[in-house]
Chains A and B, each alone.
Chain A
């Protein structure tokens, strides 16, 4: 049972345009959401997070939007740069019969930004 889903395995955008990566979740106990960027053979790098009490969080070129009623979040990257090309993982955590220090990850979306 996949509780965090990234339905697009890949996304290709032109440099300077907006990249929108999407993520859906099914577990209503999730209350904290994160986006990580990963290059091959490296560990994930934390990008941005959002708590369920907010619906938007911005950090430079990165903005995360959370729609709790739809159980959907998205990551916007504006403007996209070739160096943003990587796999992006959505992750979620929340109390579920134990500690909340467990991240449940989506399968990732490969973003390619073309010059």
Chain B
């Protein structure tokens, strides 16, 4: 089975721009979660989607949003980028009711 895939792998943007990241879960997995990893804060939960519905959300500003499509693929969007948004963004999928999440390779975002 193919693992979780994320595109693009690397991205450079400037402050004020917006960005969209994409995640394709493992085949059959219907839950997709997003995390932000920074050196200072570690891995922080952004949000989780299941059957196109956001079920859980972390403590991030409204500039961070996401959605899930009927084929379970997910996108996250960050608007009005700030320097502090530079991070590795990780997507993970799971097969409910199992709680083990499997991660993709991440998208490295650099905001200049």
Q: Which residues of B are in contact with A by a Cβ distance under 8 Å?
A: 4, 6, 31, 33, 35, 42-45, 48, 50, 55-56, 58, 88, 90, 92, 94, 96, 99-106, 108
Contact = CB atoms under 8 A, between A and B. Distances in A.
Contact of B90 (A43, A100, A104, A107): A43
9 contacts: A41-B88, A42-B106, A44-B103, A46-B100, A99-B48, A102-B56, A103-B92, A105-B43, A108-B42
Contacts of A105: 35, 42-44
Given A43-B104, A103-B101, 9 more contacts: A43-B90, A43-B105, A45-B103, A46-B103, A49-B100, A98-B56, A101-B94, A101-B99, A102-B48
Contacts of A100: 99
A101 B33 CA distance: 8
Chain A interface main SS type: loop
A106 B99 contact: no
A106 B41 CA distance: 10
Interface residues of A, number: 24
Contact of A89 (B43, B96, B99): B43
Interface string A88-115: 0101010000111111111110000000
B78 to A, nearest CB: 19
Nearest to A98: B56
A44 B4 CA distance: 11
Top 4 nearest A-B pairs (CB, nearest first) are A43-B103, A105-B43, A99-B55, A107-B42
A47 B18 CA distance: 35
A101 B101 CA distance: 9
Contacts of B55: 98-99, 101
A105 B37 CA distance: 10
A75 to B, nearest CB: 15
A6 B4 CA distance: 27
